[in-house]
Amino acid sequence: MKLKDWRGVRALVTGASSGIGRAFCERIGSEGARVALVARRADELTQLAEQIRAAGGEAFVLPCDVGERDACFATARRAEESLGGIDVLVNNAGYGHHRRFLDWDVEDIERMMRVNYLGSMWMTKALLPGMVERGRGWLVFVASVAGKIAPPEESAYAASKFAMVGLAESISVEVEDAGVHVMVACPAVIRTPFFDAEALARMPPVSRKAMAEPAEMVAAMLDGLARGKREITFPRLPEMGYKMKAVAPEWFRRMLRRTTIDALPSIAPTRRDR
């Protein structure tokens, strides 16, 4: 199902306070959507809502930590009450780090899975029934290229995004006959707070050169929804990697290592002589 006209569309966007989520809200708000803004930082959401309203749009501030199940369901109910239902859910909230699994704190790994994956599942569980009942809706899961190709130093993040992709793909088949369209969006390297100074320093030069702006990612997402696509990757260069991983997995693994671990020997695991 294609979504080309945002006028009057009721949307809930998680992770709306910055990065891709904020840019998405700004864009659809300017095109006439009624937007429920969800994130932890109430001050940032209030500022964004004022910006959207000043441009003639409609926005509702709903502070929420999507890593908490009860908060997700309560926020979803408030959004439905405020807007009279939700037509579009954009599961965008998430965070990540760049570190070896051996050095990763277990509590942070668990927190990342709650925010990145379970938060999306809880919001979807809360809002999908209304879409199915109305026979109309769109689910957008903002995953990552790391949800298709697992790079070193992103094990916990990649696991959460692989889970999100799997959830979205299964739901898509289940609800398409009920009038609900599911799209997975896989950002590659987008200029957001995820890529801090340390992450940039450890990033292969080819990835730094390919870095895109949030507004470009949003444009690709809107184009995907308008064309009824079920998955998009932006920028599109990693799509070649998906294919190579499928047809030549061992060769692809060697290439991945060459451009990551071997290119940055300082992050290679310590070897002990026996």
Of 95, 117, 157, 242, which is the active-site residue? 157
| DSSP-assigned states of every residue in 47-100 | HHHHHHHHTT-EEEEEE--TTSHHHHHHHHHHHHHHHTS-SEEEE---------
Tokens encoding 250: 């061992």
Is 157 a residue of the active site? Answer: yes
**Phi, psi at 65, each rounded to 5°:** -95, 105
What is the per-residue burial (b if ≥16 Cβ within 10 Å, else e) of 43-71?
ebbeebbebbeeeebbbbbbbbebbbeeb
Whole-angstrom Cα distance, residue 141 to residue 163? Answer: 11
Quickly tell me which residue has 């990551």 as its tokens.
260
**Phi, psi at 2, each rounded to 5°:** -95, 140
Cis peptide before 129 (omega within 30 of 0): no
Quickly tell me which residue has 């009057």 as its tokens.
8
| Helix, strand, coil % over all residues of the chain, rounded to 5 | 55, 15, 30
Whole-angstrom Cα distance, residue 75 to residue 21? Answer: 17
Whole-angstrom Cα distance, residue 65 to residue 69? Answer: 9
Query: Where in the sequence numbering do the catalytic residues fall?
Result: 157
